[in-house]
Amino acid sequence: MAPGRSKLKLTKGSNTVWHHATVTRADRERLNGHRSVIIWFTGLSGSGKSTLAHAVEEGLYELNCRAFVFDGDNVRHGLCGDLGFSPHDREENIRRIGEMVKLFVEGGVIALTAFISPFAKDRRKVRELAGDGDFIEVYCRCPIEVCEQRDTKGLYRRARMGEIPEFTGISSPYEVPENPELVVATGETPLETCVDQVIAYLRQRGVITPVRHALP
């Protein structure tokens, strides 16, 4: 170990006094060369949240940043595999995701989440949990007509036929964010422009530095 760096106090030959080492979030941010935050994408099903989040993740990776996307694909079958779509289960779903991404942020990672998260109350809870400065709410604004036209998973069709109860935008409300940090018009803007907007905002906020070197 590099001398002078270690915060670990060791007592040679003794096992009775084991002091607790602590690598802090600030240590990790220094090692990574960027701040860690939660970027919370919210919007209707089909509004492009997950695609945008993954594209931003890719853009951040190209800038040597540590980022990770959480979406239905890697959370709904795992951590929240025991939950359904009732109001209570949606709330618990968002709560667990919030608690998990908070640890990723503690771990120095830029956590990107892509969940409909239709209720302002739940989004506010995560914001409070994370701390205001660590929570960047990005509203993926896309008219429901466009979402329904895309309908890549056929969910709107099934919802219209009554096969999916409590489907956001059809039979369950979506509460539009009142004061999101960023609004991206995903219904009418090319993906690369949307990515640029998010990355530019991160630079402006000082999450990533104004100029960074790409991978060789």
Nearer to its own copies, 12 or 161 (CB): 12
Residues touching its own copies, count (CB under 8 A): 65
Report how far residue 147's alpha carbon sits from residue 168's, in angstroms, rounded to the nearest whole number. Answer: 11
Interaction of residue 102 with its own copies, rule CB under 8 A:
yes
Q: Applying CB under 8 A, which part among 64-72, 120-128, 166-174, 201-209 lies near its own copies?
A: 64-72
Report how far residue 71's alpha carbon sits from residue 76's, in angstroms, rounded to the nearest whole number. Answer: 8
Report how far residue 180's alpha carbon sits from residue 107's, in angstroms, rounded to the nearest whole number. Answer: 25
Interaction of residue 161 with its own copies, rule CB under 8 A:
no
Q: Applying CB under 8 A, which part among 16-24, 37-45, 164-172, 200-208 lies near its own copies?
A: 16-24
The β-bridge partners of 41 are 114, 138
Q: Which of 45, 50, 117, 172 is catalytic?
A: 117
Interaction of residue 88 with its own copies, rule CB under 8 A:
no
Q: Which of 136, 127, 67 has its CA nearest to residue 97?
A: 127
Tokens 């979506």, residue located = 174
Task: Tell me, yes or no, if 117 is annotated catalytic.
Answer: yes
Q: φ, ψ for residue 150 (rounded to 5)?
A: -65, -60
Residue numbers 189-208 binding its own copies by CB under 8 A: 189-192
| Alpha-carbon 67 to chain mean position | 9
The β-bridge partners of 71 are 114
Site string for its own copies, 104-143 (x = CB under 8 A): x-xxxx----------------------------------
Report how far residue 3's alpha carbon sits from residue 209's, in angstroms, rounded to the nearest whole number. Answer: 29
- Site residues, its own copies (CB under 8 A): 1-2, 5-8, 10-16, 18-23, 27-28, 31-32, 48, 50-52, 54-55, 57-59, 61-62, 64, 66-68, 70, 74-75, 78-79, 81, 96, 99-100, 102-104, 106-109, 150, 186-192, 214-216
